[in-house]
Amino acid sequence: MTQASVHAAIEPAETPITPESWGKLGMWIFLAGDAVGFGTLLASYGAMRATSADWPNPYDALGINLTAFMTFLLICSSVTMVKALEWLGRGDRLRCRWFLFYTAVGGALFVSLQAYEWSKLIHEGLHINGNPWGASLFGTSFFLVTGFHGLHVTGGVLYLLSMIRYVTNRPDPAASYNAVEISGLYWHFVDLVWIMVFTFMYLL
Amino acid sequence: MAATAMAHKHPNYMAIFWWLAALTVIELAVIFMPLAKFTIGVLLVSLALGKAALVAMYFMHLRFEVRTLGLIAIVPLVIATLLIFLLLPDGFAVHHQTSGGKKPAASAPAKH
């Protein structure tokens, strides 16, 4: 059985939306569903905040210097992700793997900084059921939204590490291009969501 | 598959990176500007949507995909916007109660 026939057995027909693969369409549908989840969280956050008389000023309570750096870090990791795909497209698997590794390191650093931020804020009195600055829901929503995003970043780091192995196991760069592109979609989505979280939960 | 790899367009990613970095710096500057809170809010949301659009269009290659995929991507934004409008009446009701000094209906004594 040739590789083409195996591929055909998995994907019996091309989708007109993403002719490259069904996997890409599947990832986009998953991301759309996930975006509804994040959208609901942020819209609920907005509703709670708008109806609260003593909602703290986020950038006074949370501080934005560290999170601004974390935002910059995620943007950088998105660039290394597209560079990984670009190098794979040129047939350079080694550079692709290095850039996937840089992206995973960026994600791991982001999660580590988030853990540091959480421990610092908890030490200052921000808890899931109360805080010294005002409405108790402020802490609840902060930990829920940033925690949900942090889990996505953690999952993304593991996903990227598995992609390094995936590329390593396939000598033909073209054989792993589609899978790397799909993993890139997930990673950029994580970056995109953080852009919204940073604006709504820290700056507004 | 190789043809797919060759056919995929790669825009100038560094230019997109600098745009995203610049928009982030502008966001940080906006919150300290002597503007009305509503104006700052509108500016921040516009800048965030602009950054999100750059990521989706160029890093996620949505600009080079078929329009249907763009429609799939835009659906969550539409649902989130609808949800905001669904929550607005509730928000206004609570705001009216708290700013008017009225107690919530649940705390009023029951009449028999």
Q: Considering only residues B6 and B60, tell me which one the structure prediction assigns the higher pLDDT.
A: B60
Nearest to A39 among B1, B27, B79 (CB): B79
- For residue A171, give both structure tokens: 């000598």
Q: For residue B56, what pLDDT band results from cuts at 50, 70 and 90?
A: very high
ipTM of the complex: 0.84
Q: Which of A147, A162, A151, A145 is nearest to A103 (CA)?
A: A162
pLDDT of residue B107: 42
CA B74 to mean position of chain CA atoms:
12
The Cα–Cα gap between A156 and A85 comes to 16
Q: For residue B98, what pLDDT band results from cuts at 50, 70 and 90?
A: low
Work out how many domains chain A is built from and give that number.
1
CATH of the domain at A179: 1.20.120.80
Summary mean pLDDT of chain A = 88
Task: Over range B42-62, report the average pLDDT.
Answer: 92
Quick check: A51 and B94 in contact, CB under 8 A? yes
Q: For residue B99, what pLDDT band results from cuts at 50, 70 and 90?
A: low
A11 domain residue, yes or no: no
A5 domain residue, yes or no: no
Residues of B in contact with A196 (CB under 8 A): 48, 52
Residues of B in contact with A198 (CB under 8 A): 48
3-class DSSP state of A20: coil
- For residue A16, give both structure tokens: 């007109």
Q: For residue A12, what pLDDT band results from cuts at 50, 70 and 90?
A: low
> A197: Cβ–Cβ under 8 A, 6 or more apart, which residues?
A38, A42, A145, A146, A149
Residues of B in contact with A185 (CB under 8 A): 60
A152 domain residue, yes or no: yes
Of A2-6, A155-159, B6-10, the poorest mean pLDDT is in A2-6
Is A29 close to B72, i.e. CB distance below 8 A?
A: yes
User: Between residues 27 and 86 of chain B, which touch chain A (CB distance below 8 Å)?
Assistant: 27-28, 30-31, 41, 44-45, 47-48, 51-52, 55-56, 59-61, 65-66, 68-69, 72-73, 75-77, 79-80, 83-84
| Domain limits, chain B | 10-64, 66-100
pLDDT of residue A97: 95
Residues of B in contact with A88 (CB under 8 A): 5
pLDDT of residue B17: 93
The Cα–Cα gap between A143 and A150 comes to 10
A41 domain residue, yes or no: yes
A4 domain residue, yes or no: no
Nearest to B10 among A36, A86, A177 (CB): A86
pTM of the model: 0.85
| Residue span of the structural domain in which A84 resides | 18-203
Q: Considering only residues A6 and A80, tell me which one the structure prediction assigns the higher pLDDT.
A: A80
- For residue A64, give both structure tokens: 């934005």
